[in-house]
Structure 1
Amino acid sequence: MPTVLDSLNQSLHQLMDADERVVLLGEDILDPYGGAFKVTRGLSSRFPARVFTTPISEAAIVGLASGLALRGLLPIAEIMFGDFLFLAGDQLVNHAAKFRWMYNDTARVPLVIRTAMGGRRGYGPTHSQSVEKHFMGVPGLWVVAPHVLSSPGELLRQATLECPDPVVFIESKTCYGRSLLPGLPEMTTTVVSDAESPFPTMLFRQDRASDPDGLMWCYGGMVPLCVEAIQHLRAAEHLSVDLAVVSQLSPVPSTHIRRILDDARPQLSVYVEEASVAHGWSAEMLAQVQEYAGAINGTARAAPYEGSTSDRPIRHERIGAAYSPIPSNREQEREALPQIHDIVTRVLECF
C-alpha cells in the first residue's frame, strides 16, 4: 500500500498536470531537496515555472499566495512546521479568510496552506505543537486533516479544486511514512459527507447487533493510536467501541455528528486529540454531541434516537496532551503526549 507521503506527492503531481492554475510555493521545496518532509519532491523538475521557493517569511508566503488566489490561480503554499502558522496569522485570519465578506462575494480566495503538525519526533517545544485549535472557528477558514484510513491525496485534491475559500491542511509528521489502510478488520465502514460538511468523516462500526459501548472521535496523527486502542479494548476487554475519524475539523461537521448519532447512541463518547484538550477541538465536538443528544444536567430534551436501546445520558471523556510545552527530551515528550495505553486506561475508567 502507498504511504501518506506517496499519496500527497502523487496528488500534487496530478493536480499540477491537470490544471495549469495550480502553483506551489514555500521554503526549500525545490529539487533535489523537495521540502522538509519530501512531499514536493519531483515537482520543480516537472513544473519549473509553477514551483516557487520563498524566503523564510511565513507572512510573505501566505500573503503572496492570497494574491495569487485573488487573481484566479490555485496556490498551494507549504509552511514547513505548523508551529510557524502564527507568523502568517494576520495574512490568514485578517485577510485571506475575510476577503469574501470585505468585497461582498465578488472575490474568493481558493488557497490551500499545507503544514506539518504534531510531535513524537523529538523536535522540541517550538517544532512539535498541534496548534490547529487556534485557527478553528474563524469564519471563512477551513481546517482539514488527512489520515491513514482514507486517501490524503484525494482530500488535498478536494481542498484545492472544490473549496473556494482558504483551507489549512494539517499533515501529521508521524504519519508521512505510514501505509494507508484499506479498512479495519471486523468493522463496517461508512463514509459520511454532504454539501454542508463536504470533507468526509469515516465511521467504523464494530460488527454487532446492539448499540456500541462507546464511540471514539479522532483525527490526523491520533488515528493509528486510536485504532490500536479500540482493537485492544475489543480483544482484551470485550468492549465494543466504534471509531469516527473526522477530516473536517472546522467548521465542525455538525451534519455528520447528527447522522452518526441518529444511527446509534453510545453510552460513552470519547474525543482524542494530540493537543491539550483545553479550549480545543474536543471541547467543540463534545458540545455539539451533547447539544444534539438533547440532555442538559441529565434531563432529556429530545429523543432523536429512534430504536435505540439506551435512554441514559451520554458520558463524555476527552483525551489529549499535558497542558504544557512539548519537552525536547524524548521520554518526557512521550509522557506529555497521549499514548495507546493512556487511551485504553481512560476508556476503562469510564466503565
Structure 2
Amino acid sequence: MGIVLNGFVDYVGPNQALGWVWDSAAPDRRLNVVALKNTKIVSAMVANLYRPDLQQAGIGDGHYAFDLRFPSDAGYEIAVEIQDGQYKIPLNTDALNVSQAQVEDLIDIGLSPRNFQSKKNILPRAIDIIRLDPNDNCNLRCVYCHNFRSEKLIDLSEFREFLNIGVDSVGTFQIGCGMEPTLDSRLCDFVEVIAESKARPSKDFILQTNGLLLHRHDYQRLAGAGINLVSISIDVAEPETQKALRGGMSLEKLLRNVKDFRAHCPGVSVEFIATVTTANAEKAESLVTLGLKYGISRFTFREVFYFPKNPIVDHSRMPDLVLAAGQFEAMRKRILRQFGKKAEFIFADSNTLLRSWRNMEQKRSQ
C-alpha cells in the first residue's frame, strides 16, 4: 500500500499554525511538517502531538497534531506542508475563526510508550493537561475498549529528563489514560518524579485506575507526592454485570481496595467513573448508592462510544451496548433528581464524540 496522507490546518494566527496530518497507510509514522511564507521555511516540527479528538475519531493513536510557532511578522500568509513537499495540508474553512480559548484547549499532551521517544524532545512549554501511561497494557478486557496493547514501558530516567527539559509547567497531571498504571511496579517512582519536577501540577494530580491492583502500591507515597484524586473505573454495583462488561474484574476486590485506600489516605478524593451502556444505564442509581456508602463524593458517567472500524473493540457485543436516543439524558435526570444534593456529578454524552468522528470521516473521504 502506498502513502495515504490526510490532515487539516485547523488554526492560523499571527505567530502560530495548528492542525494534524497522518499517513493512514502507515499509522505509526510521524510526519515532518513545515510552515512556509512564500517559499521560506519559518517553522518546522514533527507532527506527533496528541489530540484526544483524533483518537476518538478513529485517527490512529491520536498523535498526529502539530503546533508550529513562527515570528509574528509572518502574518496569516502561511502554508503548511509535509517537509519534502509531497503534500500541502489543506486549510480548514474555519481555521481563521478559531478563538484563542479553543487553541489553548488543544494543549493536552498524551504520553505513552508508543510516542515517548518523539515527544521527549518537544520544546519547553506550559501545558494544560498531561495524560501519562507509563506502561502499555491492562489487566482487564473491557468489552468497549478501543485501545491497542503491548509490553512496552517508558524508561523512568528518560522520563525524568524529559520533565526537566521539555516542560515548564502543568495544570493537571493524570497517570492512567488508556492503560492500567497499577500494573507497573514503578508507579510510585513515576509519581514522585513528577512531584519533584517542574511538571508538578498546579491543579489536580490524578491517578486513573480500575482499582484491582491498587493494594500493590504504597498509599502513603502516592498521597505524599501530591495525588489528590483517585478515579476508579466501575460501571455497576452488580458483580456479574461488572465482570461481563470488564473481563477479569472482581467487584469485591475493587471495593476492598477502595475502602483500604480511603482509610489510609482520607485527604485524597476518590471518584467513581462509569461507562454507560444498555447493560447498566438502568442500574446507575445502585452504583451511586454503593459509592456514597464508601464515601465517594464525585461520580462521572460517560456514554459509551463505538467506532465500527476499530480492530480492537468487541464487535460481537458493542452494537447491542450502544444507548438509544434519549436514554443517557433520562439517566442523567433520574440521578440528579434522586442524588443531586448528595454528591458532585459529571455527565459526558457521546454526541460530541460522534460529531467529531463523522466530521473526520467526511474529511478523510474528500
Shared fold per TM-score greater than 0.5: no
TM-score normalized with structure 1 length: 0.30
Higher Cα Rg, which structure: 2
Question: Larger RCO: Structure 1 or Structure 2 (Cα < 8 Å, ≥ 6 residues apart)?
Answer: 1
